[in-house]
Amino acid sequence: MSNASTLCIFVCHNFIAEVRAAIEAEGWPDVVALEFPARCGRPPLSWAELRALIPANCSGLLVLGRACLGKLGEPPAGFPPVRVVPQTQCFHLVAEPWIVDEAIGAGAYLLTGSWLAEWPQHLQALGFAPQQAGAFFADFAKSLLLLDTGLDPQAAGRLAEFQATVGLPARSLAVGLDHTRLLLCRLVLTWRLEQAQQGAREQARQHGAELADYVAAMDLLTRLAKTQSEADTIGTIGELFQMLFAPGALYYLRLENNVRLPGSDIPPAMLEAMRALAGDHGWTPDGQGFLLRISHGAEVLGLIAVDRLAFPAYRQRYLNMALAVTGICGMAVANARNRRRLLEAEKMASLGILVAGVAHEINTPLGVSLMASSALKDQSRALSEHFAARTMTQSELTRYLDSAAAETALIQQNLERIGSLVATFRQVAVEGKPLQTHRFRLRATLEGVVRSLGERLDTRRVQLQIDCDPALEIDGVPADWASIFINLITNSLQHGFRQREQGVIGIRIARDARNRLCIDFRDDGSGIEAEALARIFDPFFTTDQQGGMGLGMHLVYNLVTHSMGGLIRCNSAAGEGAHFHIEVPQPAGGEAGRPAGR
């Protein structure tokens, strides 16, 4: 038995062998099993009886039993910490409760190896001669059941002897020690946890005054970890140092790339001392405080001067405490700076995608305008040559004027679209204003897109089939829908019909039963490979490295899903054309509305 703290487990004589075997199997040096007489409560166990059995080094007491514990009550003074653990059935100490309860319910008289080892004595204690025991047991039992833990190799023979005496059928059930070990493990681990907690509480009482400072500091350190900006981080560091040291003066000098940053109002003498600091710490010029370097890795982030301490005699203790938290302070400042850099990088990346998107959107109307102006220039030059040679005819002049009117209208329409795109970009990206929605006829917008594409949508090469009620009105931003149709049509022209002489584009638009606007856009072009299909909505992904930016379908996806709160999917395979299906919810009651964000 160890001289250290020991847990004493008391159990009756009938179960002592199993409990001791379980303790030995677990290898617990600080647990011992002790027995009290097996009287089943006649008379019940008393604290005086237990006191005589407790060893001197017992630091905790567990008492297991059932009827024998009925009169114990609260332990008297002078006992070690006691926990009484009553059992519903004593046999729950060696077998699962459902096994015991089921056997008792079937009329079995339960036995252990320890009880069988002394069965003649037990009969004698009950006041029966062996030849009289059969009638006694037959009154309340139908059979005998040995819960065999495997500790007594003679248990089977003794069961047979007892069976012959009482004349009841008997059987043995191997239960082993697993249940007893699990039961004791839970009790012992609970005791050890309580011991550890008690030790921790005692240690906390002994060091309470010193730990109070650290607990308060941890609260501020938690706040420090949650700060977002460097200014908030520096402010929380100042609060932490004020709470810990209550200095008469506290200064923080921000450094980045070893350059002093503005905003530090520090007296010249103190500033010179901070700049001259060679190591991680030092003393202030008047010796009434200390200087600290705040760093993360090899980067120096700032310098702190804690001056005019209320108790300068403890400055070394205060310095040690400050050094213990400077690493966390440095990490917090570094995290704040990294967060700022990440936000700046994210803003630049977002701005880059936005600018690229605007450039992509402008590219189509600009290309159409350039094509139309080039054609107008060629036609003007040809007409001028005919006029100079006096070979110009009336019909040529008429054709030129008709073409010039159409092409200038096309140029004007596309330049207006460029101006609208630039205005929209300024409104959303620069001024931060949301776009206003209103009701408009979608087919008219689509037909305007077709006209704006001019010769890029050559009707001799590409057949366009539109199935949309001219009277269909929706709530939204016409420019958004124009962008969607332009990018879908341009995608078919640039990719689907790239190596085709002829092609067909079909656009079907209608409302469904749920008041959702449904658009089916199909072409019979070359289709999309599986690898490209999986990334078709990714930004800057294109299969035409020479002629595409890879933003068209990404812009369509953003408009449909983010701006309009809808969904878009694409079905395609190589050689089978492309099918885009779009669903966009419409406000109930016909009122204009727009999801948050753009």
Q: What is the DSSP string of 443-454?
A: HHHHHHHHHHHG
Residue 446 identity: L
- Kindly report, residue by residue over 469-494, the tens digit of the pLDDT: 999 999 888 888 888 898 898 888 88
Query: Which pLDDT score, from 0 to 100, does residue 204 have?
Result: 65
Q: Is the pLDDT assigned to residue 325 strictly greater than 90?
A: no
pLDDT of residue 202: 72
Phi, psi of 103 (to 5 degrees): -70, -45
Task: Determine the residue type at 373.
Answer: S
- For residue 467, what pLDDT band results from cuts at 50, 70 and 90? very high
Can you tell me which residue has the tokens 């500790």? 151
Taking the C-alpha atoms of residue 489 and residue 450, their distance in angstroms, rounded to an integer, is 9
Give phi and psi for 554, each to the nearest 5.
-65, -40
262 pLDDT exceeds 80? no
Provide CB contacts within 8 A for 140, sequence distance 6+. 109
With a pLDDT cut of 90, the percent of the chain lying above it is: 11
Which tens digit of pLDDT belongs to each residue from 572-583? 888 888 999 999
Q: pLDDT band for position 584 (50/70/90)?
A: very high
Fold of 209-334: Beta-Lactamase (3.30.450)
CB 433 within 8 A of CB 408: no
Q: Name the least confident of 98-102, 323-327, 524-528.
A: 323-327
The residue among 306, 305, 303, 289 whose CA lies nearest residue 260 is 303
Could you give the CA distance from residue 30 to residue 27 in angstroms, rounded to a whole number? Answer: 9
pLDDT surpassing 50 at residue 508: yes
Per-residue confidence (pLDDT) for residue 573, from 0 to 100: 84
Residue 171 has pLDDT above 80, yes or no: yes
Is pLDDT at 116 greater than 80 in this prediction?
yes
Q: Which of 200, 199, 140, 201 is nearest to 166 (CA)?
A: 140
Max mean pLDDT range (48-52, 218-222, 540-544, 580-584):
580-584
User: Tens digit of pLDDT for each residue in 208-247?
Assistant: 545 555 565 566 667 666 677 878 888 888 888 887 788 8
Of 443 and 327, the one with more pLDDT: 443
How is residue 581 written in tokens?
């299906």
- Dihedral sign from CA coordinates of 58, 62, 64, 69: positive
- Coil vs helix vs strand at 139: coil
Write the pLDDT tens digit of every residue in 285-316: 888 889 998 888 878 888 888 898 878 888 88
**Eight-state DSSP code of residue 72:** -
Instruction: Give the mean pLDDT of the chain.
Output: 81
Say if residues 249 and 269 touch (Cβ distance below 8 Å): no
Q: What is the mean pLDDT of the segment spanning 509-518?
A: 89
Tens-digit pLDDT profile for residues 333-372: 888 888 877 776 665 555 555 565 566 566 667 777 777 7
* Measured distance CA(141)–CA(42) in Å, rounded: 21
The matching CATH number, chosen from 3.90.1520.10, 3.65.10.10, 3.40.640.10, 3.30.565.10, for 435-590 is 3.30.565.10
Structure tokens at 371: 């094509």
CA gap 273, 251 in Å, rounded:
12
Contacts of 233-241 with CB under 8 Å at 24 or more apart are 233/332, 233/333, 233/335, 233/336, 234/302, 234/333, 236/332, 237/294, 237/304, 237/329, 237/332, 237/333, 240/325, 240/329, 241/304, 241/306, 241/322
Rg for the chain, CA atoms, rounded: 46
Which residues, in sequence order, are CB contacts of 20 under 8 Å at separation 6+?
33
Q: What is the C-alpha separation between 419 and 414, in angstroms, rounded?
A: 9
Q: Is 432 exposed, middle or buried (0-12, 13-18, 19+ CB in 10 A)?
A: exposed
Task: Look at residue 521 and tell me whether its pLDDT is greater than 90.
Answer: yes
Report residue 2's pLDDT band, with 50, 70 and 90 as the boundaries.
Answer: very low
**Cβ neighbours of residue 537 closer than 8 Å, sequence gap 6 or more:** 553, 554, 556, 557, 568, 570
CA–centroid distance for 135 within its chain: 70
Q: What pLDDT does residue 241 have?
A: 83
Query: What is the per-residue pLDDT for 567?
Result: 92
Helix (H) or strand (E) holding 264: none
Overall pTM > 0.75: no
Nearest 5 degrees, angle CA 228-CA 232-CA 237? 115
214: CB partners within 8 A, 6+ apart: none
